[in-house]
Structure 1
């Protein structure tokens, strides 16, 4: 490697609530020579991080401006309301936005839900982050509506959550720069989409073609070796010698029969 060459690497960004552990494990199994670095980023800053080449790809929350970013939607999260365990809402299995009309519902500045109009009554001030809003819920200031993964991320023993049936939902996607689709990005897209290591799609195709070519090249050499083995079996002292031995054993087995025919009779 020359001084100007840089060893390959892959930087993967992820927003709060997303757990990339499974995909990172598969990457390390398939590409152990290409280190993967995780980059935590707030949801509101993820798109700018990718545009600024701070990461090769990233798990983001939709929507994103697709003018210069590509995105593959992965899954949609359940929306929940975070409440104290002794709150009346905790008695229900599921609630609606209308059920929260009389409640103070906190609306943090980093909210990832696309509200046309947030539910409930607004608080005097908007918390800076979802983590701050959770602390306020624990203090009895109000309730919080958020994606379920964020409720789990900021879990507290004195809080619980319930699904909100008719609330907007947050969608998670894998995104990257359109002009930054490198081999490593292609590899990670394949992993996220569930392609196996032997898939014919992606970069594994050239490797399969090379393996097939090597197999075909070895086949003529193996077919030439088979006639040689046949000629070896037909050499003098091979099959003919075995036949002679077999005949000899049958001839020898007839000798005791001729001996029994010559046995003398007793005299009367």
Structure 2
């Protein structure tokens, strides 16, 4: 797993929306949670979100991601090494928490439930959290449809296409999971000629080549539908809802899952 995230870090500048949040996503977090005066805890070190809140603590297990992606500690923000499943804060102490795509990158449903439980334990009774989803549609796209869409210029970025490709490959998978090696294998089947894809879309080959970081990885991603994630979250929160993140490419599959009223054990 460490090598997977090191590879992502090395290719960070070639990534784009929806993997990296555009400005309208930053605004959506602030609008959904009212972060201007809050101390915000962030899962991961997403640099585009580092300015949210009055102050921020970012938590990531990878020192290499902190060193390579985090825009740096200041008087109002810092990054610490830590475990999302055992957050380094006292129980019921966090007023606001955010995470970008983190439910997808941890994989299976049992791990998603563990993360929801960790967030619920850490939030104050009036605390709130928002996690941007990468959610598959209720009716999965067919590979031929995604291929035709891309070659017609209908995918906004290569990374928009990459998530669409991934979502075509999870049909029947337990917990909506897919090894990331399966994403690149599906892509190779759908787009055997990368030069054709580049010519038809204008995407540079090095950007298309970022998918190759998945080729030898042991990491498993998940792309659960939003409705399934809402049901999982309701075990741990009394108030669960979705909020739009804008109109960028694939935004309709990337809403915020907004969590309030954590269920603390008596």
Q: TM-score range by the shorter chain?
A: under 0.3
TM-score (ref. length: structure 2): 0.26
Greater radius of gyration (CA): 1
Normalised by the size of structure 1, how large is the TM-score? 0.26
